[in-house]
Amino acid sequence: MTHQISSKRLSFKDLQHIAHNVTELQLSESSITAINNCRAYLDDNFGAKDSHPTYGVNTGFGSLCNTQIASDQLTQLQHNLIMSHACGAGQEVPKEIVRLMLFLKIQSLSYGHSGISLQVVQRLLDFFNNGVFPIVYEQGSLGASGDLAPLAHLSLPLIGLGEVEYEGTRYTGEEINTLKGWKPLQLQSKEGLALINGTQFMLAYGLHLSIESQKLWYWAHITSALSLDGFSCNLSPFDERIHLIRPHKGQLESASIIRDLLEDSEIAIEEKVNVQDPYSFRCTPQVHGATKDTLDHVIKTVVTECNSVTDNPNVFPESNTIISGGNFHGQPLALALDFLSIAMSEIASISERRIFQLMSGTRGLPPFLCKNAGLNSGLMIIQYTAASIVSQNKQLANPASTDSIVSSNGQEDHVSMGANAATKAFKILDNVKTVLAIELISGAQALEFHNKETSSFLNSLIIMLRETISPYEEDRVMYGDIQLAKEFINYTHLDTEILN
């Protein structure tokens, strides 16, 4: 499916569509005009040997900003910039994140305030449309002055350097150019800086994580509904009247989802002996709802950033101006990603507490949800795994945005650390999915010991789950079941199979 890049504001729904469905990008005529006009302005005003010094165009970078560069060295300046800033380390960035980086860099450059040439943007389009994904590394960005190191790695193949992955095979930049019949680009004034200045590394993570978090938030209600019936809990804490007198939007939505999921459950409506249920069950709307309100803020921030120009300096041909500012600073994303990490960690935290309660051997359930406890340990240790993961999330959720470190001889003296916030959040989300997978297993197993039926929806879900994960009759190796449950969460489409 094709998407046309334009100045039209992208909604979160648009961004989800691009992330999941779009395989080809094209530039609109208005974007082509904006890019060409901006490049022509630079060429007209900075071609002369004695052009006045303008940061990023004919000067050095960072603390070398006062060093003017001769006009006949501007191409070498930009080439050197890409090479010298490609200092990434650590793990390789997942392909789905690199793909979003390409899209977001193209989108930001298309507004015509970066001085990039159409030829460079077209090569980025070629990469996206042909499934050529540069090898980028997780570590190296301070989250201010742009995601310099990751974006330098994204840009290296444009000049015939670095490495890419194409159709499952790794190629050097030179090899992929030969294979595709592309010539290495000769970057003009400011083009290298336009490529590596920007927030597209942390933003790609932010967009991916926003989409994934929204999905996992809904899944947390499905697993908690299984646990609520599995633990014979009261439905009264989900009564709408309670939530209308404390009307946080997320809380109201969370309680409504639980009511819908358990609408025709025989277990939910039967009279209960237990007067109250533990917080991890009856406070689900308050905890899940607070996370939803946080996610709404994160998504708003991410959507704004996706519709922004974040390199520096910015070119305004219509007013004959080049302005050096700080749109590359990642503080909005750093804070948002830290908020997301904290909020989603709480989803796993309360889920693990429900898992713990299901193992307690109370409310008609056998210890550790196994028929012959003692000979069988049942699901005892699966709860340990969840507890270990939740503890790791507590460590990872410590904010990155409260940190800063001086760089570039003091010129870049406050940074956001948004890139670290992004990569930590990525790990946290995978951990959340694992804990929810464990609750899915545990809640379904608890329902094996009930004489009455849960809701028709949850019953249908369990039937689907049982196609790959059978009930626990006696001890067996379970690590594969956790992975199968994660895949079940990954590939069961909420929009068609669950939410409707």
pLDDT tens digits, 100-126 = 999 999 999 999 999 999 999 999 999
Q: Is pLDDT at 155 greater than 90 in this prediction?
A: yes
Q: Is pLDDT at 486 greater than 80 in this prediction?
A: yes
Q: What is the pLDDT of residue 60?
A: 65
Q: Is pLDDT at 500 greater than 60 in this prediction?
A: no
412 against 370, higher pLDDT: 370
- The proportion of the chain whose per-residue pLDDT surpasses 70, expressed as a percent, equals 94
Q: Model pTM?
A: 0.94
137 is catalytic: no
User: 55, 137, 166, 218: which one is catalytic?
Assistant: 55
Q: Is pLDDT at 93 greater than 90 in this prediction?
A: yes
Q: What is the pLDDT of residue 440?
A: 98
Cα(406)–Cα(414) distance, integer angstroms? 6
Q: What is the pLDDT of residue 498?
A: 44
The neighbouring-strand residues paired with 26 are 4
Which numeric CATH code is attached to 205-498? 1.20.200.10
Architecture of domain 2-198: Orthogonal Bundle (1.10)
For residues 369-385, give the mean pLDDT: 90
pLDDT interval class at 372 (50, 70, 90) = confident
pLDDT, tens only, 382-434: 999 999 999 999 999 999 999 988 887 767 778 899 999 999 999 999 999 99
Residue-range domain boundaries for the chain: 2-198, 205-498
Q: What is the pLDDT of residue 405?
A: 82
Q: Is pLDDT at 261 greater than 80 in this prediction?
A: yes
pLDDT, tens only, 58-82: 776 665 656 776 766 777 888 899 9
For residues 138-144, give the mean pLDDT: 93
For residues 434-453, give the mean pLDDT: 97
Q: What is the pLDDT of residue 388?
A: 98
pLDDT, tens only, 5-62: 999 999 999 999 999 999 999 999 999 999 999 999 988 887 655 567 677 677 766 6
